[in-house]
A and B are shown apart, each in its own frame.
Chain A
Amino acid sequence: MIISSALVFGLLISALILVAAGVSASDLFNEFVLYTLFDGQSLRAVLFQAAPLIVLGLAGALAFRARFWNLGLEGQMIWGAIAATAVSLFEIGPPSLRLVLMFIAAIIGGLMWALVPVLLKLHLKVNEIISTLMLNYIAVNFLLFLLYGSWKDPRDSFPYSPQFKSFERLPNIFDGVNLAIPIALVIALLVLWFTRISRAGLYLRFVDSSPGVAAAVGVPVQRVILLTVLFSGALAGLAGFMVSAGQEERLTHSFYLGYGFSGILIAFLARNQPIAATVVAVLVATLFVGGRSLQVYYQIPFSMVQLIQAILVICVASSDFFIRYRIRRIQSEA
């Protein structure tokens, strides 16, 4: 209740900023609410956009459950996309299996890029906030190195890889919506199983509540954290595959922009719950789609979307205080 009023409050502030930036209030309503949610085509665009966001939100939620600030979702996403593109470029495996191989390669790519900071954290206590962010910058520069170098599409001089062949793209299940959405939903169920039912998930809840106690009762804390963070990195890599093979149909130099932060935001707003993350991801996808049309029709920069997301985080985080405050009042009366 308090959280939803905080969300509404945040959206109101965002709407005020948009109006101040020159969008009329009625247009705003039309653009975001009516057009985005009640038009079949843009609803498809929202679903299309939601798939990688769901997976990234789940990736964030997993890592945060292991008390690991994985701010490296972007870097892991980039490595996932690079690995998938490598499979396509070097034509590894027969065409019928190509997409599956790209899928697996993306998972391994993301996982490997998460392995570095988690090992550094577990063995040397290196702060993962800094290490994952630094690894993002390194991954971005490596991506640019590839795209301005040997992976550049030979047909024109733009910084992107040659287009994937038709069997290397995610197929459509119906017009405008491809296989990414069902994959994302399966992943959500998988994460739900992992956190709620599996043994590792049980251990993870111990570790999340109190690492010290968990270790004392014999939970393999280090292994649980390692496994969970690698899972998180693998999902981020998969999101990279979804954007490159499902949306852009090639590796581009800016495909990752905005995704890393959104993954963290979704996990935070969803309180690291897999089902809630799926729902929040669809809302954030609406924001993305609405933001793009604002960019086209009002020249409002896409960074507006990031600003709105940040405002939402601040409002929801602040609402925590009011939640706790009320609880204490009830206790003092008892």
Chain B
Amino acid sequence: MEIISSWVGNIPDLAVPFALAALGLIVTERAGVLALGAEGLMLVGALFGVGGYLLFDSTGIALLLAMLAASGVSILFAVMVLVLRINQVIAGLALVFFCQGLTALLGILFGWASHPVSGFEAWTLWPLSELPIVGRLFIQNPVVYLTPLIFFAVAIYLNHSMSGLKLRAVGENPQAADAAGIPVLTYRFAAILAGAALIGLAGAYISVLSTKMWIEDMTGGRGWIAVALVIFARWSPWRAFAGAILFGSIEALIPQLAAAGVRLPQYFVFMTPYVVTLAVMIWVALPKRDQNKPDQKNQPDALGEPFIREERR
């Protein structure tokens, strides 16, 4: 019983980074920009979150700074794919490698590595926190409570606002959107920056609130898992939310199993998230009987396509 309740209590802490990163990816990709750079932007967020905390001694400012830093770096990506029209796969990969090198270097140069930070105090939502089994879901840091609200806001924006409709139009058919007078590149630019802010927040969550320390390459592929998660969620925010909880549950299960006395080889345990991601990718790809409709994958039609107004397609 104790094991189940502590397992449930650990899920949000592990699910939130996946959820926020996936949401950021969805915002960017719904505008038709393939965002493979998530792993790198998460690292930038993670580093500047810790840096912001060490500089300003405030968790709130730290998280804001992380979002700003990730957005700032994503301008580089935006210029690459929107202005210079570099292949979005190459630009995304280059961004990841750039950020990995940059954060490792800056972490050492600024002396931000291996300094513990304190993060937020947990907020206890009484009386919900007294519930059996799920009680610990309501003893979490504020960002955990904020995450569903962010999801709610983004889902409303994407699906029920004029601006969200335009953003999706840009991702589905930029030529038609352009003809209708929507500024395609402005929307894509904004979508890249906004998505990067969410991805940076996801990274800062890991470093400032979860691990409470900056370690080189600390995201460990979570950005890539988020990319897979978005495919699994078929670009829908709420499905991504559910997927993040699924991944968080699996990650949270590992220490619980060890505590319960199940002897597992440590390094095989570390493999689980990657094996699960691979399995999920295969499962999504398996032909399904009820998926005869061609647009069942819900992938934005113009994903990865550069928009060049004067060019015929």
- A residues sitting closer than 8 Å to B (CB atoms) are 21, 69, 71, 120, 124-127, 129-131, 133-135, 137-138, 141-142, 144-145, 148-149, 261, 264-265, 268, 300-301, 303-311, 313-314, 317-318, 320-321
Q: How many interface contacts (CB-CB < 8 Å) are there between A and B?
A: 122
Bound complex: CA of A303 vs CA of B285, how far in Å? Answer: 36
Cβ-neighbour of A304 out of B85, B105, B267, B281 (below 8 A): B105
Asked whether, in the complex, the Cβ of A142 is within 8 Å of the Cβ of B101, the reply is no
Number of interface residues of B (CB under 8 A): 43
Whether B152 sits at the interface, judged by CB under 8 Å, is: no
Q: Indicate whether A134 sits within 8 Å of B286 (C-beta atoms), given known contacts A129-B89, A310-B97, A321-B86.
A: no
Cβ-neighbour of B98 out of A126, A129, A130, A311 (below 8 A): A311
Q: Indicate whether A317 sits within 8 Å of B94 (C-beta atoms), given known contacts A131-B281, A137-B221, A301-B105.
A: yes
Bound complex: CA of A142 vs CA of B270, how far in Å? Answer: 10
Asked whether, in the complex, the Cβ of B268 is within 8 Å of the Cβ of A141, the reply is yes
Asked whether, in the complex, the Cβ of B104 is within 8 Å of the Cβ of A301, the reply is yes
User: Binary interface profile of B, 184-221, with partner A (CB < 8 Å = 1, else 0)?
Assistant: 00000000000000000000000000000000100011
**Min distance, Cβ A66 to any Cβ of chain B, angstroms:** 15
Asked whether, in the complex, the Cβ of B80 is within 8 Å of the Cβ of A314, the reply is yes
Bound complex: CA of A303 vs CA of B87, how far in Å? Answer: 25
Asked whether, in the complex, the Cβ of B90 is within 8 Å of the Cβ of A141, the reply is no
Bound complex: CA of A117 vs CA of B166, how far in Å? Answer: 36
Q: Indicate whether A318 sits within 8 Å of B80 (C-beta atoms), given known contacts A127-B231, A145-B268, A301-B105.
A: yes
Subset of 29 A-B contacts with CB under 8 Å: A120-B281, A120-B285, A124-B286, A125-B285, A126-B285, A127-B228, A130-B228, A130-B231, A130-B277, A130-B281, A133-B221, A134-B274, A135-B274, A137-B220, A137-B221, A141-B270, A144-B267, A145-B267, A145-B268, A265-B97, A303-B100, A304-B101, A309-B97, A309-B101, A310-B94, A317-B87, A318-B80, A321-B83, A321-B85
Task: List chain B residues, Cβ under 8 A from A320.
Answer: 84, 86
Task: List chain A residues, Cβ under 8 A from B270.
Answer: 141, 144
Whether B36 sits at the interface, judged by CB under 8 Å, is: yes
Q: Indicate whether A130 sits within 8 Å of B224 (C-beta atoms), given known contacts A141-B270, A145-B265, A313-B97.
A: yes
Asked whether, in the complex, the Cβ of A142 is within 8 Å of the Cβ of B271, the reply is yes
Instruction: Look across to chain A and name the residue whose beta carbon is closest to the beta carbon of B275.
Output: A138
Whether B54 sits at the interface, judged by CB under 8 Å, is: no
Instruction: Look across to chain A and name the residue whose beta carbon is closest to the beta carbon of B284.
Output: A126
Bound complex: CA of A149 vs CA of B108, how far in Å? Answer: 31
Task: List chain A residues, Cβ under 8 A from B55.
Answer: none
Q: Indicate whether A124 sits within 8 Å of B285 (C-beta atoms), given known contacts A142-B271, A318-B86, A320-B86.
A: yes
Whether B31 sits at the interface, judged by CB under 8 Å, is: no
Task: List chain A residues, Cβ under 8 A from B86.
Answer: 317-318, 320-321
User: Binary interface profile of B, 260-285, with partner A (CB < 8 Å = 1, else 0)?
Assistant: 00000111101100110110011001
Whether B134 sits at the interface, judged by CB under 8 Å, is: no
Known: A130-B227, A134-B221, A142-B271. 7 other contacts (CB 8 A): A130-B278, A130-B281, A134-B277, A145-B266, A148-B267, A317-B86, A321-B85
**Min distance, Cβ A270 to any Cβ of chain B, angstroms:** 14
**Min distance, Cβ A331 to any Cβ of chain B, angstroms:** 12
Instruction: Look across to chain A and name the residue whose beta carbon is closest to the beta carbon of B270.
Output: A141
Asked whether, in the complex, the Cβ of B274 is within 8 Å of the Cβ of A310, the reply is no
Task: List chain A residues, Cβ under 8 A from B149.
Answer: none
**Min distance, Cβ B290 to any Cβ of chain A, angstroms:** 17
Whether B93 sits at the interface, judged by CB under 8 Å, is: yes
Asked whether, in the complex, the Cβ of A120 is within 8 Å of the Cβ of B97, the reply is no
Whether B4 sits at the interface, judged by CB under 8 Å, is: no
Whether B109 sits at the interface, judged by CB under 8 Å, is: yes
Task: List chain B residues, Cβ under 8 A from A127.
Answer: 228, 231, 281
**Min distance, Cβ B86 to any Cβ of chain A, angstroms:** 5
User: Binary interface profile of B, 61-105, with partner A (CB < 8 Å = 1, else 0)?
Assistant: 000000000000000100010011111011101100110111011
**Min distance, Cβ B255 to any Cβ of chain A, angstroms:** 17
**Min distance, Cβ B303 to any Cβ of chain A, angstroms:** 12
Task: List chain B residues, Cβ under 8 A from A303.
Answer: 100-101, 104-105, 216
